[in-house]
Amino acid sequence: MFEDKVLVCRDCGKEFIFTVGEQEFYAEKGFQNEPVRCKDCRVSHKNQRNNEREMHEAVCAECGAVTKVPFQPRNDKPIYCSECFAKRRGN
């Protein structure tokens, strides 16, 4: 049985609530650790990581659109743009 928990963000030091719904989601996904950052700091941290990534251009194997991916494309596997990738995952 889950209950809301008050946690302290390791980046900004503010308290935040780890809700019952979030705890259920974490359990469903098999996550072992509680979040260590509040929502604002998680978003900021994610944006910082994404800005530091080197992106590479590739052509989508399904629609032919030029897209960017965070890895060096190889010729042995197809690459999909975000839209085509999402469609394929839905199958």
pLDDT of 91: 60
Distance CA 45, CA 38 (A): 10
pLDDT of 45: 92
pLDDT of 51: 76
Regarding whether 46 and 18 lie in a shared domain, the answer is yes
Regarding whether 81 and 43 lie in a shared domain, the answer is no
Regarding whether 60 and 37 lie in a shared domain, the answer is no
Tens-digit pLDDT string for the chain (91 aa): 899 999 999 999 999 999 999 999 999 999 999 999 999 999 999 888 877 778 899 999 999 999 998 888 988 899 999 999 998 887 6
Regarding whether 18 and 43 lie in a shared domain, the answer is yes
Task: Mark out the alpha helices in 1-91 (DSSP H runs).
Answer: 20-29, 39-52, 82-89
Regarding whether 70 and 32 lie in a shared domain, the answer is no
- Both tokens of 56, joined, read 């590479």
Distance CA 67, CA 60 (A): 7
Q: Which domain holds residue 74?
A: 56-89
Regarding whether 46 and 9 lie in a shared domain, the answer is yes
Q: How many domains does the chain have?
A: 2
Regarding whether 45 and 69 lie in a shared domain, the answer is no
